[in-house]
Amino acid sequence: METTTKLEDLPIRYGFCDPASSKKDGELKQVKARSAIVVVAPDWLGRIFVLDAWAKRCSTDELIERMYRTHELWNLRQLGGEANGLQELFQEAVMRDARLRGKRLPLRPIHQSTRLDKDWRIRTILQPVIANGRLFIRPDMTELKTEIGSFPLSPIKDLVDALASAIKMIPPRPTRREDDRELNNLLAYLRKTGAPPAVIEEIARRRSMR
């Protein structure tokens, strides 16, 4: 699905890095896995925009450099990374490397449930977003579109797995009741502190449009 949205309207961005070595033994051996990084950004309407989708068979050093560049480019709120088994050691090594370089990398280790089938996990995350027309992918992201279109039949699913994991990192939106309670508390505070009525009315108007 395509739309036009400015980057400045998508300030909250999440990335997920899936190293190639995290692939499970049960997957086809003849398909050499790639490392993948996907960046997504939600908007206030609940839509999710894919900003970056990268996958490559590369060395560990090249992957780490790509992680740094991704954060520098998109100013990520969090960069998730699979931390199951030996991958936890990789996450620790990257965080240690960042400390030694004096660089900021908002790495967040993600432990994927080993009791869930990977295809089922991916499907349950992506299906509601796609079915509701909330996922937006740039036209030039042909590899990601191909993986989504061929999932789960194709053994190549590096990008679609990273995409699902990145989307999973987005916090759930508050319910309307929670929004209303938060607004009422804010307006009560503004009245108590003597804020001008015009300011209070403008805040109430803007929040009601969300």
Question: Do 164 and 180 fall within a single domain?
Answer: no
Give whole-number Cα distances, 141 to 74, 106, 147, in Å: 17, 25, 10
* The pLDDT of residue 146: 96
- Establish if 160 belongs to a structural domain: yes
Question: Do 185 and 154 fall within a single domain?
Answer: no
Instruction: Look at strands 48-56 and 135-137 and give their pairing.
Output: parallel
Question: Do 181 and 100 fall within a single domain?
Answer: no
Question: Do 15 and 88 fall within a single domain?
Answer: yes
- Establish if 122 belongs to a structural domain: yes
* The pLDDT of residue 209: 55
* β-strand partners of 48: 42, 135
- Establish if 40 belongs to a structural domain: yes
Question: Can you state the angle between helices 142-150 and 158-168, rounded to 10 degrees?
Answer: 90
Per residue of the chain (210 residues), give pLDDT as tens.
455 678 888 999 999 999 975 444 444 444 567 999 999 999 988 899 999 999 999 999 999 999 999 999 999 999 999 887 777 888 889 999 999 999 989 999 888 877 778 899 999 999 999 999 999 999 999 999 999 999 999 999 999 999 999 999 999 876 556 566 767 877 787 888 888 888 778 777 766 655
Q: For position 133, which CATH number holds?
A: 3.30.420.240
Separation between Cα atoms, residue 206 and residue 210, nearest integer Å = 7
Under a CB-based contact definition with an 8 Å cutoff, are residues 151 and 122 in contact?
yes
Question: Do 127 and 202 fall within a single domain?
Answer: no
- Establish if 2 belongs to a structural domain: no
Question: Do 158 and 189 fall within a single domain?
Answer: no
Beta-carbon neighbour count of residue 52 at 10 Å?
A: 19
- Establish if 72 belongs to a structural domain: yes
- Establish if 55 belongs to a structural domain: yes
* The pLDDT of residue 27: 47
- Establish if 91 belongs to a structural domain: yes
* The pLDDT of residue 16: 97
| Verdict on whether the full-model pTM lies above 0.85 | no
Question: Do 163 and 198 fall within a single domain?
Answer: no
Q: Which domain holds residue 106?
A: 7-168
Write down the H helix ranges in the chain: 60-74, 87-101, 118-131, 142-150, 158-168, 176-192, 197-208
Q: How many distinct structural domains can be found in the chain?
A: 2
DSSP string for 17-40:
EE-GGG--TTS-TTS---EEEEEE
Question: Do 86 and 150 fall within a single domain?
Answer: yes
Under a CB-based contact definition with an 8 Å cutoff, are residues 176 and 63 in contact?
no
- Establish if 1 belongs to a structural domain: no
Backbone angles phi, psi at 109, to 5 degrees: -65, 130
